[in-house]
A and B are shown apart, each in its own frame.
Chain A
């Protein structure tokens, strides 16, 4: 059946196993969810603009807090990073596709269904309101009796499955499918950060999976793992959540660091400074990231020794991170810097991420954390890391690789205006939050009295959020405009360094007509110059008749299997009767697996 599926049109997208198309679908879906998360942020800031506001109620606000965090992390930054992994990994390592193309499609569909399930809470009118960390026992059946929390528990569970499948896929792809000559220490730095990210995902996702199973058993079957009235422990949830949750922070930031490293090198026309040290730093950050989770719990009464050790571990992370920051600056130093839009975003990443990293060092000290924990200082800190850091880098990445994906540049003028709106808006929103934290404004409060001295900063923060929103709107206008009217881009439109720039823009379905071979880091860039440093244009990849290349067949089965998983996860919403829906979902899953197994790939 699979061989006769159409090559164009909607069916071709639904059945595709092409990593480039899946990457595009990941990006489009993630940006769609960005709209959701952004609107949630604007609603919250509107509520907090003035004291004693009643724009939304407390429980709605808690729902917005929860969904904003969950959406931005699980449905925007992670899948947008996955879009880059998908699109770029095979192109950068010179491979025809990922190792398991159908599993790749499967992970996309599971992610999409999980994201829709989570956001279906809006339609159902039952928002999950336990925060993105969903602490027990507030999230237990006694204190959250509606199905709101179930949307979070099951939605995140499904999305996590998608990430786990994708992580295994990329891990295998990177280790096994590199082109001739590309040893590990000749891989582009983005591939290194991708690889370490996958290791973090593979090791941390099982922890949250188990925790979520326990949580959903607590909620559906009354098991009481986290219910103190039944002898459970609320602190156990926190440990399990943060053993996943802290590596998660590096899952969000490492791909961004990789993107920034690529952009800085390209637009400085210099190799990344200290490549191998950057690789070791990435590995060190990933490794240490598993040993510091309890710094999220300094106020829970860990005892002095645990606090001392976890604070020391947290401080240690500053060392490889600091090395990276100075290596980025050294990459710029002595270069020929051109400020294209991607470069603006990449340079701002260094500054904003440094700010967030330094306030992170402040929180690594438990005594300081006793005051700052759950105050707006922490909100400022992690937005500088994840928004000023990760999100700015991802925007840079979109501007950088958009011409490769579509064959057209994004509009530079609009891009630069967006950048400045973001820089001004972002800093206006989040810098005053440091002051709010020092003045003791707790996080996640939906209202505050007017006599607390918080009015001015909150008003500023809200104005900043509106300015950022303008930038966001401009980005979407630019995206749609440039898809159709952008300036045409050639194969090597940025004077690039890595293998994807040897391909046509957009690349053909089969990727490389001739298997590439590299002899060094930044092979393509080095080959642009002869021994005396004069410019010689190296050969680009030729284009051939696609029929001569064997490509994996498109398939419906990933969609069927993912749909079965969605049905399975929908069961608990219908209480006792729901078991039949879950059983039916299991049947659909088995059908999908069966069809998949006997299909000619």
Chain B
């Protein structure tokens, strides 16, 4: 314990500090060699600003309303923080006794026990400040409608472990992990869950709401989608969403995309979405045969699997897997886990659990390479060209 004695502390401490500096410098030097540090930092900062889940870049009225309250509140709490930290710092600087003073020899300071007027003031000021937060808060709370407005597009959102199902009752369309919406349209979401609690969240469209399991536990969410001028990419603008409630081992892998179309484009999408895959080659024909195995859990619009789904639903045993209609048009696979391409598709079918731990899909590792290619040739078709 000799080294810990106070007199010998200073020197080892300096050495420790120098060692730490040398160590961290070498780490940074190594890092900059590896990643070209400046590019990396610039890239990171830009990525930080352009985050796809950014909560303060609201595009809908609702999200902007939230950002408005958030802005006011941030201002108020920042002012309060200054009002606390400035006198706190002043106090500890001004009234500090020099190190080594024998306090027992010092006459104690004036023993102030309190000041009723002052304490009254700093009880009342927060109340006034809170009103600045409370009034816009209450306004925003009561803006959300409880029931679907008549002209709204109704979308049923069903959370599953760990993927999203979106149903459009008006069009008879069911999709998974990709929510297509028309621009400048009121949309009313009916939120439920097939298993545990999930939370539906598209930060740029607004806040989140829980998807609760149980027949009488439906929640709702409403917003008017952003203007068509927000669409900057061909084939629709993508907005990311993600489950926000802990829902099991792959909770982190439960993302989805919202694709915003112009109204015309959305109209075309509703018409072509349910077209079944084409079978024009031997490979695709083989894939079609193989899909009969998949159809136990999955449905493709416009194929016999759709009838099968209806009869299973009538028996009270709905299909367990996501609807695969128009799979090739989706950007991502496995609820935003991987890019949607042939390689990832095959990897997924062979062993879904290697990509998403705990996924309930059966692993089809026994399929031959040719069979997997056939399956992808059949399933990975897209009608997106037609819109």
Q: Which residues of A contact B (CB under 8 A)?
A: 57-59, 62, 65, 129-131, 135, 137-138, 143, 228-229, 233-235, 268-271, 273-277, 299-301, 303-304, 307-308, 311-312, 315-316, 318-320, 322-323, 325-327, 329-330, 332-339, 347, 350-351, 354-355, 358-359, 361-362, 364-375, 411, 413-414, 417, 435, 437-449, 451-457, 477, 481, 485, 495, 529, 533, 535
Contact = CB atoms under 8 A, between A and B. Distances in A.
A137 B6 CA distance: 56
- Most chain B CB within 10 A, of A307, A333, A369, is at A333
A457 B250 CA distance: 23
Nearest to B9: A413
Contacts of B97: 336-338
B212 A300 contact: yes
B70 A234 contact: no
Given A228-B217, A323-B123, A453-B47, A301 B210 contact: yes
B141 A375 contact: no
- Looking at chain B's contact residues, the main secondary structure is mixed
Given A355-B81, A442-B252, 5 more contacts: A143-B161, A270-B111, A325-B84, A367-B69, A454-B51
Given A336-B95, A337-B96, A413-B6, A447 B252 contact: yes
Interface in B3-25: 4, 6, 9, 13
Interface stretch (B126-134, B167-175, B289-297): B126-134
Interface in B70-102: 70, 73-74, 76-77, 80-81, 84-85, 87-88, 91-92, 95-97, 99, 101
B49 interface: yes
Contacts of B53: 439-441, 452
Contacts of A65: 246
Given A299-B209, A337-B96, A58 B50 contact: no
B252 A445 contact: yes
Contact of A271 (B50, B51, B112): B112
**6 closest A-B pairs by CB:** A370-B207, A440-B53, A228-B214, A453-B51, A445-B252, A274-B114
A334 B65 CA distance: 45
Contacts of B196: 135, 137-138, 143
B331 interface: no
Contacts of A338: 96-97, 99, 101, 103
Contacts of B9: 413
Contact of A440 (B51, B101, B142): B51
Contacts of B247: 138
B217 A273 contact: no
Contacts of A375: 55, 244
Contacts of A316: 130
Nearest to A315: B130
Contact-residue size bin, chain B (C-beta under 8 Å from the other chain): 35 or more
Contacts of B214: 228, 233-234
A160 to B, nearest CB: 22
A354 B247 CA distance: 32
Nearest to B162: A58
B51 to A, nearest CB: 3
B387 interface: no
B362 interface: no
A20 B331 CA distance: 64
A320 B126 CA distance: 9
A554 B56 CA distance: 62
B376 interface: no
Contacts of A413: 6, 9
22 contacts: A59-B358, A62-B246, A129-B249, A137-B213, A235-B212, A270-B109, A271-B113, A300-B212, A307-B141, A319-B123, A322-B80, A336-B97, A361-B77, A362-B74, A370-B209, A438-B54, A438-B56, A440-B242, A441-B53, A443-B244, A453-B48, A535-B105
Contacts of B107: 533
A454 B92 CA distance: 36
B217 A233 contact: yes
Contacts of B133: 315, 361, 364-365
A304 B142 contact: yes
A336 B212 contact: no
Contacts of A301: 209-210, 212, 219-220
A322 B123 contact: yes
Contact of B80 (A347, A358, A477): A358
Given A234-B214, A311-B134, A370-B208, A274 B115 contact: yes
B230 interface: no
Nearest to B245: A374
Contacts of B69: 365, 367-368
